[in-house]
Amino acid sequence: MEYRLLGRSGLRVSELGLGCEVFTGKDKAFTEAFIGLARQHGVNCMDIYTPDPEVRSLIGAALEGKREDFVLQAHLCTVWRDGQYKCSRDMAEVEPAFEDLLARLGTDYIDIGMIHYIDSVDIWRETASGPVMAYAQQLKAEGRIRAIGLSSHNPIAALEAVRSGLIDVLMFSVNPCYDLQPGNEDIELLWADASYAGDLLNMDPDRQALYETCQSVGVGITVMKAFGGGDLLGEDSPAGMALTANQCIHYALTRPGVASIMVGAKTMDELALSLQYCTASEAERDYAAALAAFPKISWQGHCMYCGHCAPCPQGIEVASVTRFLNLARAQGMVPETVREHYAALKHTAAECIACGACEARCPFAVGIVDNMKAAVEMFGR
């Protein structure tokens, strides 16, 4: 298992984490075995969105004596009402739900307090200036949460939240099909057949800007729906062809800002399949050929950070140079951290001899030589 820093939070998380849907309706033995298998493979983080009291208690029992082994990402604004999950911004419900969470998990703090389900710019603005954010900041000041997060499916709302400086972590839906779709408050459109009925060209620019801005300002991304609820793994995939779990995971992990994938698994076998990523070969992880072969979908001219451009005869890490260039473009300036990381490269774009070897290998026909020239202009070397 590899580990990554979760942005500026200072938390170090495993590249694969756990979602919690699997525990609904399960018993203590299953919950302990499932978490035990994940822990055995080095998983150290878990998302707990559900307010279901039985699930919270099961997880708490399974974590007894192991709490410090896990980075827990748990959600504010999820409440249990009349035996059902609800999203609520009513503080009369939000505060008791958080106290219930701590009690059932048997802990006095949560590593990431995730403000739940912000898919509207208006809801974000109300939240940012209202009692929910004030409560999250109070919890952080008291040490009852270590970082403030936000979950969203809408890149437009999420980007505004990231740029506000109020959040440290973003939980976002990332996969190669959803990344084609424009931001919308209706998340059903992300998997609706109609959204994939016509020709699709390239990543949505708001999503690209979101990932690059997160990387630039130090907001770490934890990923949900890397498999599109399992849709991407089957023949009915909205891409028109099935992807493997390894390809979906690797795609998400190569987006800027991403630190960990909260794996959705319904069985022990599905979890084991995702954990195979840790020992998968580069060929098994490679998503470039699959993406290039998607019917009616094209990433023509768009760098996917897949690494097929390597090796450069001059030793330039082409994908890294392109990533730093895109980070600077997203900000409309060169942030100091991006400049420092670019300067730390052993070989910079100025060493490019325009031989075109990288372009010949690129599955997406990216104008790499032009990007190298643009990087020299942007960074001065």
For the chain, which residues score pLDDT lower than 50? none
| The predicted structure's pLDDT at residue 248 | 94
Contact 114, 76 (CB under 8 A): yes
Q: 166-186 pLDDT, tens per residue?
A: 999 999 999 988 888 888 888
| The predicted structure's pLDDT at residue 22 | 86
Contact 321, 348 (CB under 8 A): yes
Burial letters for 299-336: b for 16+ Cβ neighbours within 10 Å, e otherwise? beeebbbbbbbeebebebbbbbbbbbbbbbebbeebbe
Map out the domains of the chain with their CATH numbers: 3-286 (3.20.20.100), 318-379 (no CATH)
| The predicted structure's pLDDT at residue 336 | 77
Please list, in sequence order, all residues whose beta carbon lies within 8 angstroms of the beta carbon of residue 377, skipping any fewer than 6 positions away.
none
| The predicted structure's pLDDT at residue 84 | 86
| The predicted structure's pLDDT at residue 202 | 73
φ/ψ region of 181 (left if φ > 0, alpha if ψ in -120 to 50, else beta) reads beta
| The predicted structure's pLDDT at residue 305 | 81
